[in-house]
Amino acid sequence: MNEGKNENLNIEGAMEDYFEINENYTILLNKKMGNGSFGQIYQCLNKKTNEILACKIESINELKPQLYHESKIMFLLKNCLGFPTCYDFIITGQDKILIMDYLGPNLETIMKKLPNNDPIKKFSIKTSLMIMIQCIERLKTLHEKGIIHRDIKPENFVIGPKNKERLIYLIDFGLSKKISNDKKLPLIKVDRNIIGTMRYISMNTHKGYEQGKRDDLESLFYIIIYFIKGELPWQNIKSKTKSEKYSKIYEIKKKVTDNKELVEGLPLEMEKILEYILELDYFEKPNYLMIIKTIEMVLDKLNLSNDLQFDWYSLDFLNFLYYSFNNNNNDINNDTCEENTKKENKSQKEKVKENEKNEKINDVLKLSTINHDVKDYNAKKLKISYNKNNPKVNNSYIRNKNNQLIQERSKSLTVLKRLYSQKLAKNNNNEYKNIKLFLDTKNRKEKQNKEIFKGKENIKIKNIRIKK
């Protein structure tokens, strides 16, 4: 873990679109991904690899710090399937910064943006059960590392980046905790602050018990019911105080699980899974494999298979999803979600066309004799200015610029005009003028040679006719 001291990070006072943390990372301030209880999340550029990452920022004066604790857990889960990688942890004069993988949108966002006309957004039962299988596997890995999550909710399960959309990741370990080795049954604390999200916490958490592996599984089961039905019986409860609301939610949870109303309309196996989870002892190790096998039996019973063809796995929807995720910071307003979806569907088509144009430009750039570095071109599109005073960052960039003078080809003039139109040659006008002069001269010579060649061919044809 790198806890090097750097310059103070003052995001609110920065007027630029980026902020350089150190020689390795730059925060893209115009690419904010969201807010958390601990601070803010932004996209981040690894300047050595030109790779887009994510960074979490927490104030060094935070009363309830979570970020350093989360970084330790993420390092413990390094190289585990379905968990983000933590690349660095940096402490500045004012902030703590966690550098991690940049992943896709969360399952709550995806469900709300699905292009169906149902009044209540929900996943198909096939998608919901396939999600459950992967989520059980993530909890199994986490629990085997001796950690419980304690905040299982749809927002903490995200899909992977592009080309990994069928892999579900578990994120956000700020409230996670190592499992105690003490074999004493934890006592109920009436005045215990409830840890987790009220909609999905277990009934034992409502009572004030310390959470364990069984509680993570119970929260996951509520999430799957929410995905299948689109809502839970205890949503939208109105009350005057928080404590009154908590008690009402607990009463409804207990009622609908006791009378099996929660799993009404679902296969019998789902009822058996819920019974098994609720009967688990605090110290008992859950049989994760048995639960997964039972879910696979349900899929088989419904003539379905775990083929990873999720509801979101279509090219058009994925393009729209990632575009809206990258441009709208992954914020969801449930009341206006449908209106935003209609607007984003229109802009998504325009974005696809723009991507096709950019791909063509990149293909031409790769073939052109100007030999323009495509990575630098993409970085320029992100509005990242290179620091001229930092030779470590700029050596390759300047070298690639100088290499533009070496070779040429007939398509180079077209590419040069495009580069001019995109203002990529702003600081090198004299060099590009020389290139243009050189290309013009060469094209002129080629035309002259072609005309001479044509003249010689005409003479040959005439001689042949005369001989005949």
d(CA 279, CA 277): 5
What is the reported pLDDT for 93?
84
**Is residue 298's pLDDT more than 60?**
yes
Confirm whether 151 is a catalytic residue. yes
**Is residue 234's pLDDT more than 70?**
yes
Mean confidence (pLDDT) of the chain: 77
Which range is most confident: 5-19, 28-42, 76-90?
Answer: 76-90
Handedness of CA 239, 244, 246, 249 (dihedral sign): negative
Query: Which residue among the candidates 88, 95, 101, 151 is catalytic per the annotation?
Result: 151
pLDDT band (50, 70, 90) for residue 412: low
pLDDT band (50, 70, 90) for residue 389: very low
Per-residue pLDDT tens over the stretch 138-169? 999 999 999 999 999 999 999 998 889 999 99
Residues in the chain: 468
**Is residue 394's pLDDT more than 50?**
no
- Token digits of residue 100: 């991690």
d(CA 457, CA 70): 78
Backbone torsions φ then ψ of 55, nearest 5 degrees:
-135, 135
* Mean pLDDT, range 22-39, rounded to an integer: 82
| Domains of the chain: residue spans and CATH | 1-102 (3.30.200.20), 124-310 (1.10.510.10), 368-387+395-455 (no CATH)
Helix, strand, or coil (residue 3):
coil
Look-up of token digits 């419904």:
302
Which region among 16-30, 99-113, 117-131, 268-282 has the lowest average model confidence (pLDDT)? 16-30
d(CA 329, CA 343): 16
